[in-house]
Chains A and B, each alone.
Chain A
Amino acid sequence: QSALTQPASVSGSPGQSITISCTGTSSDVGGYNYVSWYQHHPGKAPKLMIFDVSNRPSGVSNRFSGSKSGNTASLTISGLQAEDEADYYCSSYTTSSSLVFGGGTKLTVL
């Protein structure tokens, strides 16, 4: 199972919006509405930000939103804040009854 494809890095200024893409295949992202997104600050445990493509867990800011079109899912962060600077990973359920992560995207808040 190949990792999902994410850009290595994205950046934005405070207050701006950014979008991180996550591209897979019809065997994972395109085949199921089971895409999730995680925020990972180095040295801490990853945190679930979005599940089932566009659902936010309780306590996650509504500045975070998810969507999907075909084999590509996206995470959008609006109103960027300094504390959003972190690594972000997408994940998808697959036809092999397994999960696969993306390679990760480093978000820099300028």
Chain B
Amino acid sequence: EVQLVQSGAEVKKPGESLKISCKGSGYTFSTYWIGWVRQMPGKGLEWMGIIYPGDSDSRYSPSFQGQVTISADMSIRTAYLQWSSLKASDTAVYYCARVSGSGWPSYFDYWGQGTLVTVSS
């Protein structure tokens, strides 16, 4: 059974750094892209970026390029989303999801449970 298990909720202050995780199981972790999706309070889903754990090739949405870093450690089947300096506007639920597609990484077929990040002074 494919599962993605995310790290727990975080409460941080503006300016602090943060790294949240997403551990995959039940499939060959290195051969599927993993993506991150943001949902701000009361808002819709936003595609942030994806990474291929096999070679760490990554792609970012222009809206998130330079704002976050996506990484992966194939040896422990875990992908990460990190911030160097959080802002209040980073308050959101962040989902990781496995990306599949026939030739292109084009849809999310399995999702993590979500990680709530709250940034407040």
Which A residues contact B (CB, under 8 angstroms)? 1, 3, 32, 34, 36, 38, 40, 45-48, 51-52, 57, 87, 89, 91, 93, 96-104
Question: In the complex the two chains form, is B106's CB within 8 Å of A45's CB?
Answer: no
Contact in complex: A1, B108 (CB < 8 Å)? no
Complex Cα–Cα for A101 and B97 (A): 14
Q: Distance in Å from the Cβ of B112 to the closest Cβ of chain A? A: 7
Interface string of B43-74 (1 = CB under 8 A from A): 01111001000000001111100000000000
Q: When A46-B95, A99-B35 are in contact, do A93 and B106 touch as well, CB less than 8 Å?
A: yes
Asked whether B107 is an interface residue with its Cβ less than 8 Å from the other chain, the reply is yes
B120 to chain A, nearest CB (A): 21
Bound CA span A36–B37, Å: 15
Q: Determine whether the beta carbon of B107 is less than 8 Å from that of A91.
A: yes
Task: Give Cα A87–Cα B110 distance, bound, in whole angstroms.
Answer: 17
Q: How far is the CB of A36 from chain B (nearest CB, A)?
A: 4
Asked if B106 and A48 make an inter-chain contact with CB atoms under 8 angstroms apart, the answer reads no
| B101 and chain A: residue at smallest CB distance | A34
Residue among A36, A47, A57, A98 with the highest chain B CB neighbour number at 10 A: A98
